[in-house]
Amino acid sequence: MSNKDEIICTCNEITRREIEDAIRSKKLQTIEAVGNETTAGTVCGACVDEIYLILEEINGKVSL
Protein backbone atom coordinates (compact mmCIF):
# COMPACT_ATOMS: atom_id res chain seq x y z
CA MET A 1 0.00 0.00 0.00
CA SER A 2 1.28 3.47 -0.79
CA ASN A 3 1.83 6.12 1.82
CA LYS A 4 -0.94 8.68 1.33
CA ASP A 5 1.03 11.43 3.02
CA GLU A 6 3.94 11.04 0.64
CA ILE A 7 4.67 14.34 -1.12
CA ILE A 8 4.32 13.70 -4.82
CA CYS A 9 4.86 17.27 -6.00
CA THR A 10 7.68 18.78 -3.97
CA CYS A 11 7.40 22.16 -5.70
CA ASN A 12 3.90 22.74 -4.36
CA GLU A 13 3.95 20.22 -1.49
CA ILE A 14 1.05 18.20 -2.83
CA THR A 15 0.52 14.77 -1.27
CA ARG A 16 -0.62 11.53 -2.84
CA ARG A 17 -3.85 11.83 -0.86
CA GLU A 18 -4.64 15.28 -2.27
CA ILE A 19 -4.05 14.07 -5.80
CA GLU A 20 -6.08 10.89 -5.33
CA ASP A 21 -8.96 12.73 -3.67
CA ALA A 22 -9.06 15.32 -6.47
CA ILE A 23 -9.04 12.60 -9.15
CA ARG A 24 -11.83 10.66 -7.44
CA SER A 25 -14.08 13.54 -6.44
CA LYS A 26 -13.75 15.54 -9.65
CA LYS A 27 -13.38 12.51 -11.94
CA LEU A 28 -10.16 13.91 -13.41
CA GLN A 29 -8.78 12.16 -16.48
CA THR A 30 -5.64 14.06 -17.44
CA ILE A 31 -2.40 15.31 -15.94
CA GLU A 32 -3.46 18.80 -16.97
CA ALA A 33 -6.73 18.50 -15.08
CA VAL A 34 -4.86 17.35 -11.96
CA GLY A 35 -2.60 20.38 -12.33
CA ASN A 36 -5.53 22.76 -12.68
CA GLU A 37 -7.23 21.27 -9.64
CA THR A 38 -4.30 20.75 -7.25
CA THR A 39 -1.38 22.72 -8.83
CA ALA A 40 0.64 19.45 -8.77
CA GLY A 41 2.92 19.19 -11.79
CA THR A 42 2.63 22.85 -12.76
CA VAL A 43 6.11 24.06 -11.77
CA CYS A 44 9.14 21.92 -12.74
CA GLY A 45 7.23 18.92 -14.11
CA ALA A 46 9.38 16.34 -12.29
CA CYS A 47 6.32 14.78 -10.64
CA VAL A 48 4.33 14.35 -13.84
CA ASP A 49 5.30 10.67 -14.25
CA GLU A 50 4.10 9.98 -10.73
CA ILE A 51 0.81 11.80 -11.39
CA TYR A 52 0.40 9.69 -14.52
CA LEU A 53 0.80 6.50 -12.47
CA ILE A 54 -1.77 7.67 -9.92
CA LEU A 55 -4.26 8.51 -12.68
CA GLU A 56 -3.66 5.09 -14.23
CA GLU A 57 -4.08 3.36 -10.89
CA ILE A 58 -7.41 5.04 -10.21
CA ASN A 59 -8.91 5.25 -13.70
CA GLY A 60 -7.33 2.19 -15.26
CA LYS A 61 -6.09 4.30 -18.16
CA VAL A 62 -4.91 7.84 -18.86
CA SER A 63 -6.09 10.17 -21.59
CA LEU A 64 -3.40 12.60 -22.66
Site for ligand FES (CB under 6 A): how many residues?
11
CB-based burial label for 41 (10 Å; 0-12, 13-18, 19+): buried
Nearest-approach distance from CB 11 to ligand FES, in angstroms: 3
Stretch that binds ligand FES, among 17-25, 34-42, 52-60 (CB under 6 A): 34-42
Binding of ligand FES by 2 (CB under 6 A): no
Please say whether the beta carbons of 64 and 31 come within 8 A: yes
Give the binding site for ligand FES (CB under 6 A): 9-11, 40-47
